[in-house]
Amino acid sequence: MYKRLFLFFSLILFLSPLASAQNPEKEIHIKKAKTPINLDGKLDEEAWQLADVSGDFFLNTPFDTAFAKEQTEVRLTFDDKFLYVAMKAYQPKSSYTVSSYKRDFASGSSDVFSVYIDTFKDKLNGMQFSISPLNVQREGLISLGATADFSWDNKWYSQVKNYDEYWTVEYAIPFTTLRYKVSADQNSWRINFGRFCMKTNESATWSPVPRNFKPSNLAFTGVLIWDDAPPKPGANISLIPYLSTNYTKDFLRNENLEALKPDANTKLGAGMDAKIAITPSLNLDLTINPDFSQVEVDAQQTNLSRFELFFPEKRQFFIENSDLFGTFGFPGSRPFFSRRIGLTKNNFTGLVEQVPILGGARLSGKLNENWRIGLMNLQTGKVNHADNQFLPATNFSVGVVQRKVFERSYIGAIFVNKENSFKNLPEASTAGIDKYNRMAGLEFNYYSPDNRLETETYYHQSFSPGAGKDASCVNQYIGYHHPHIDVNLGVARIGKDYNTEVGYTPRTGIYTVYRPINLIFNPKNEKIAKKINRYGIGMDGSDVFDLQGKRLDTESPVFFFINTPADGEFSTGYYMAYTRLQYPFDITNASVNPNPDFYKDVVELPVDIYKTRNFFVNVKTTRRKSFYGEMLVYGGNNFRSKTIDQGKTLGIESSFTYRIQPIGTVAVDVYYTDIRMQKPYNSVKYWLIGPKAELSFSKSVYLSTYFQYNTQSNNTNINSRLQWRFKPVSDLFLVYTDNYFAQQIPRFGINPWAPKNRALVLKMTYWLNV
Calculate the CA 576 to chain-centre distance: 28
354-385 per-position pLDDT tens digit: 788 999 999 998 888 899 999 999 999 887 76
Average pLDDT of span 660-666:
92
CA-angle at 88, arms to 86 and 90, nearest 5°: 165
Average pLDDT of span 229-251:
89
Query: 631: which strand partners?
Result: 619, 654
Query: 365: which strand partners?
Result: 282, 373
CB atoms within 10 A of CB 316: 19
- As a whole number of angstroms, the distance between CA 417 and CA 147 comes to 27
Confidence of residue 233 (pLDDT cuts 50, 70, 90): confident
**What confidence score (pLDDT) does residue 385 get?**
63
500-517 per-position pLDDT tens digit: 999 999 999 999 999 999
CB atoms within 10 A of CB 357: 23
Average pLDDT of span 185-204:
90
- As a whole number of angstroms, the distance between CA 310 and CA 312 comes to 7
The two beta strands, 409-421 and 436-447, are antiparallel
Average pLDDT of span 62-75:
92
CA dihedral 292, 298, 304, 307 (to 10 degrees): -30
143, pLDDT greater than 90 = no
CB atoms within 10 A of CB 262: 11
- As a whole number of angstroms, the distance between CA 660 and CA 98 comes to 9
Residues 6+ apart with CB under 8 A from 18: none
pTM listed for this prediction: 0.87
- As a whole number of angstroms, the distance between CA 365 and CA 260 comes to 51
CA dihedral 331, 334, 336, 341 (to 10 degrees): 70
Determine the residue type at 463: F
279, pLDDT greater than 90 = no
- As a whole number of angstroms, the distance between CA 104 and CA 154 comes to 11
User: Under a CB-based contact definition with an 8 Å cutoff, are residues 570 and 631 in contact?
Assistant: no
736-755 per-position pLDDT tens digit: 999 999 988 887 788 889 99
CA dihedral 581, 582, 586, 587 (to 10 degrees): -30
Confidence of residue 9 (pLDDT cuts 50, 70, 90): very low
Where does 515-647 show beta strands of DSSP type E? Answer: 517-521, 534-539, 542-546, 551-555, 558-563, 569-580, 609-620, 627-640
User: Under a CB-based contact definition with an 8 Å cutoff, are residues 416 and 336 in contact?
Assistant: yes
The two beta strands, 558-563 and 534-539, are antiparallel
SS3 category, 45: coil
SS3 category, 19: helix
Task: From 595, 611, 571, 616, select the one nearest 712 (Cα to Cα).
Answer: 595
User: What percent of the chain stands above pLDDT 90?
Assistant: 62
> Which of 176-190, 273-287, 327-341, 558-572 has the weakest average pLDDT?
176-190
Q: Where are the alpha helices (DSSP H) in 472-570?
A: 526-529
- As a whole number of angstroms, the distance between CA 17 and CA 23 comes to 15
CA-angle at 53, arms to 49 and 55, nearest 5°: 145
